[in-house]
Amino acid sequence: MRNILVFFWETAKIIIIALLIVVPIRYFVFQPFFVKGQSMEPAFENGDYLIIDELSYRFRNPERGEVVVFKYPNDPSQRYIKRIIGLPGETVEIQAGKITIISAKGEEPLNEEYLPASVLTLGDTKMTLGAKEYFVLGDNRLASSDSRRWGSLPKEDIIGRVIIRAWPFAALAKY
């Protein structure tokens, strides 16, 4: 009987220690995310399993080109994945399939080296971003609900940035 009690006590200690280590990491540092839909193809496909870094944006601001997971501004219970195009204080202009960034440095076309050159961004949009707002787009511009449709993304809605694709293994990549 004593051996059984010792066994259960040792098992309980292992479970408690594991929970004390895993739970804070899972909820405050890294978070899993499944891609649903085609809005980020070809970078991420439906069903990809990603690991999201929730910690780095507490120490630095998001940068242009990073892929982020965020609470959809019109329904915070939903999670979206998009690429950051416009930064706070900039004006993003989409015209004739091209994106132009207007900032204090001047006006320049957006260099989207992560996309095939044939990708056009449809729409006729000009949006000036506030101090804590971002402009986000899906890589698959024809199948993406993004800032062109629902407006800017507030910084407080950003959950984190994609750091690794964990599944499928054949497509394992760091972002």
**Residues involved in catalysis:** 39, 82
What does DSSP assign to residue 41?
Answer: T
User: From CA 132, how far away is CA 112, in angstroms rounded?
Assistant: 23
Q: Side chain identity at 57, as an amino acid letter?
A: Y
User: From CA 164, how far away is CA 116, in angstroms rounded?
Assistant: 21
Tokens in use for 75? 């329904």
Q: Side chain identity at 48, as an amino acid letter?
A: D
Which residue has tokens 């994609």? 162
Length of the chain: 175
Q: Side chain identity at 25, as an amino acid letter?
A: I
Which residue has tokens 């970078």? 43
